[in-house]
Structure 1
Amino acid sequence: MKLTQSYWIRLIGIIILALLRFGLFGSVNFAMEGAITWQWIIDNTLIPAVIIWETSRLVVVYFHRWYALKPSTKRFTLEVLAVLGGNAVLFTGTMLLHESPKELLAVNPFFLFYGYMYTFLYGVLVAAFYELLFYMEAWKIATQEAEELKKINLLIQLESLKNQVKPHFLFNSLNTLTALVEKDQAQAVKFIAELAQVYRYLLQSNEKGLIALDQELQFTQAYYFLLRTRFGEGISLKVEVTDSVHDCLIPPLTLQILLENAMKHNQVSVRKPLVVSIQNEAEEWLVVSNNLQLKRVAASSTGMGLANIAAKYKILHQPDIIILHEENNFTVKVPLLKPAAVLTS
C-alpha cells in the first residue's frame, strides 16, 4: 500500500494530533472546570484531530491528482487556501457546538484568531507531511525506474552482442568479404568501410539512452548494405521518412532489431524476396513493416527484441509500441520522441 493511503500512518497521526490538542487545552479546561470528562476529550481533541487530519490529507491527495507531481506554485497556493478554508469551517463548527452565534460574537476576537491560527497550523503541518510522503514515493519510483532502465540497457547490449557480434555474423561477413576480394576489390573496400561503421555504431550506441532518428537511419543503411551484399536481390529496404522527423529521437538499435527480427522469421531469397519498409506517420510514429513469408521451420525466438523496445518506451513514459500481425504483413509502430519533450520530462 502507498504511504499516502496507509491506515496506520493516519491512525498514528490522528492520535499524535489529539495528544497535542489535549496537552494544549487540557490543563486550561481542568483549571476552569475542575475536571476533564471523556465527552470533552472526544469533542475537543479526538474529533477535531480526525477532521483536521483527514481534511488536510484529502486536500493534498486531490490536488496531486489534478496537477503534476512536479513542484507547482499554483498547486501549493490552492492547497494552502483549501486548508485555510477547511480549518475555518472546522474551527467555526467546533465553537458553535459550545456557544450560540450570539455568544460567539461576544467572544474576544483575539481568542478567536488565536484558536483559528493554531487549528490552521495543525492543518498545514499535516498537509506538509503528506507532501513529503508524495515526494518520497516519487523518489522511490524514480529510483526503481532508473534501476530498471539500467537492467534494460544491459539486456539490449547483451541482445545486440548475441545478434550482431556473435561468431556466425562475423563469419558470414568475412566470407562475403573474401568472395568480394576475389571478384570486386572496389566493392570489397566499400564493404569493409560499411562493416566498420556498423560495429562503430554498435559500440557507441550502447552508451546512449536515445539517439537521433537521422543517425539510426544512417546506421540502418550501412547494416542493410552488408545484408544486400550477402543476399543480393533476396532483400530490399524502402525508406520513406520525411525530413521533418530526422531530429526526433528513438532508442538506439531499434531499427536494427526490427530488421533482424524480420530476417529471422521469414524466408530471404531471390525467388521470395523479403521487402522491409520504413516510413513515418505524421511526426508521431515510425512504422516498420515487412511482407510475411514465414520459414517452414520456425526459428527459435526468446521474444527479447520487441520486448526490449517496448520496455524502453515504457520507462520513458511514452505510448506503447503497436504490433500488427496481419495475414500478409507484419508491422511495428514505435513512437517518435521530440527532443524538447524529452528534455523537459
Structure 2
Amino acid sequence: MNISSLFCNKPTLRPNPLKLIHSYRVRLIGILVMALLRFSLFGTVTISTEGKLSLAGVLDNILLASLLIWETSRAVVLYTHRRYALQLSIKRFSLEVLGVFIANGVFYSAQLIMHEGLQALKKTNPLFILYGLFYTFLYGVLVAAFYELLFYMEAWKKATQEAEELKKINLLVQLESLKNQVKPHFLFNSLNTLTALVEKDKAQAVKFIAELAQVYRYLLQSNEKELIALVQELQFTQAYFFLLRTRFGEGISLRVEVEEDLHSCLIPPLTLQILLENAMKHNQISARKPLIITIHGEAGEWLVIQNNLQPKRGIIASNGMGLANIAAKYKILNQPEVIILKEVDFFTVKVPLIKAEAA
C-alpha cells in the first residue's frame, strides 16, 4: 500500500452543510416555500371569508411574515449554537424552543396590533389569537428544525472526517513502529544480544526471548485500538526497555513513577515506545554518560516523559514524524495539545491522560 495515497485521495463532492447554513439561496427558497404554505392557509381562509385577497395582504401577511418568521427563527438557532456550541442537552433545545416561541410571539403580537389596533384586539376571540400564535410558532419550529438538521449533518461530517483521519494516523504510527522494530539493524542487534546471552547466561536468554515475544504481541494486539489503558502501555514499555537494557547495559535507565490511580487512564497505543525511540535516536548512550528516561504523572491529568539531553555528535536526520503523529492523534481525539519542552539539560514531552469514562 502506498502510504501517500491515504492523504491524496480525490475529495468526494458532497453538499457542505456549513455553507448551506449561511446560504442566501437556501434562505430565499425556504422563505418562498413558507410563503406558499401560508398562502394555502391564509389565502384560502381570507378568500372564503372576504371573497377576495388583496395585494397588500399577500405582501404583508404572507411574504413579509414568512421572511420575519424564517429570519428570527434562524437567528435564534445560530445564537444558541454559538452560546452552547458543544452541548447536546435538553437545556439547550429547551432554550432554543423558548427563544423561537418568544421571537415569533413578539412578531405575531406586533402584527396583530398593527392591523387590528389595541381596542379592536380586545374584542377579538382569544381562540383566534391563540390559533394564529400557534401556527406562527409551528412555522418557526420547522425552520429551527431545518437548521438543526444542517448543524447535525455538519457535526456528522466532521466526526466522519476525523475518524478517517485518525485511522490514517493510526496506520502510519503502526507502520512506523513496526518499521523501527523489524528493520534489519534492530533484528540484527537483538539476535546478536540473544546469541551472546545464550553463550553466557541461558536463563537471561530465556527471559530475553519472553520479553521480545511480549513486545511483538503487544504490537500486533494494539493494531486495531485507538486508545489503550496506561497500565498496559507501561507493561509493554517495561518489556521493551528490558530489550534495550540488555543491549546497552548501564548506558540507559528508565524510572517509572506513575500513581496507581492513573493506571486506568487511556493513551494512544505505542506512545511511550515512540518517545523512547526518539530519545535514543537523538542522544548519546554510554555507561559513562547514561541516558536517563523518567515517566511520571503530573496533576492527575498529564503523563510526563523526560530525558537528559546529551545530543549525538553530528547531524541526526529526522523527519519529526513520531512527535507529529502523537500530537495529531491527540488533536483529533479533541484532547489538550501535547506539550514539548526543550531545555538546556532536559527534553520533556507531556501527553494528556484521557479518563476512561470520557473516552
Give the AA of the match of 2:227. L
Q: How does 1:142-161 map to 2 (within 5 A)?
A: 142-161=159-178
Give the partner amino acid of 1:199: Y
1:35 Cα offset (Å): 5.4
Aligned to 1:188: 205
| Structure 2 counterpart of 1:216, one-letter code | E
Secondary structure of residue in 2 paired with 1:272:
coil
Q: What SS does the corresponding residue of 1:100 show, helix, strand or coil?
A: helix
- TM-score, scaled relative to structure 1: 0.93
Aligned counterpart for 1:98 among listed residues 103, 115, 129: 115
Taking the aligned partners of 1:186 and 1:114, their CA distance within structure 2 comes to: 89
Deviations 1:216-253 (A, max 9, x none): 11111111111111111111111111122111111111
Tell whether the 8 Å contact from 1:289 to 1:332 is kept in structure 2 after alignment. Answer: yes
Are the structure 2 counterparts of residues 203 and 34 from structure 1 closer, same or farther at C-alpha, using a change threshold of 3 Å? Answer: closer
Q: What is the CA–CA distance in structure 2 between the aligned matches of 1:146 and 1:308, rounded to whole Å?
A: 15
State the alpha-carbon separation in 2 of the partners of residues 157 and 16 from structure 1. 53
1:114-263 alignment, distance < 5 Å: 114-263=131-280
Segments of 5+ residues of structure 1 without an aligned counterpart are none
C-alpha distance in 2 between matches for 1:265 and 1:192 = 27
- Contact (CA 8 Å) 1:3, 1:137: kept in 2 or not? no
- TM normalised by structure 2 equals 0.90
Distance 1:280 1:49 in 2: 59
How far off is 1:286 after superposition?
0.4
1:15 paired with 2:10, answer no
CA offsets 1:305-339 (integer angstroms, 9 cap, x no match) = 11111111112111111000112211000011111
Q: CA deviation at 1:97?
A: 1.7
- Cα contact 1:30–1:36 (8 A) shared by 2: no
> Match for residue 6 of structure 1?
23
SS of equivalent residue, structure 1 residue 297:
coil
Following the alignment from structure 2 to structure 1, what is the Cα–Cα distance between the partners of residues 250 and 355?
36
User: Where in structure 2 are the equivalents of 1:11-50 lying within 5 Å?
Assistant: 11-29=28-46, 32=50, 34=52, 36-37=54-55, 39-50=56-67
d(CA) in 2 for partners of 1:3, 1:303: 39
2:307 maps to 1:307: no
What do the CA deviations read for 1:178-226 (whole angstroms, capped 9, x no partner)?
1111222221111111111111111111121111111111111111111
Which letter maps to 2:128?
A: F
| Aligned-residue offset at 1:65 | 3.2
Residue 84 of structure 2 is matched in structure 1 by 67
Gaps of 5+ in 2: 1-17
In the aligned structure 2, how far is the partner of 1:292 from the partner of 1:172? 24
Identity, % of aligned positions:
70
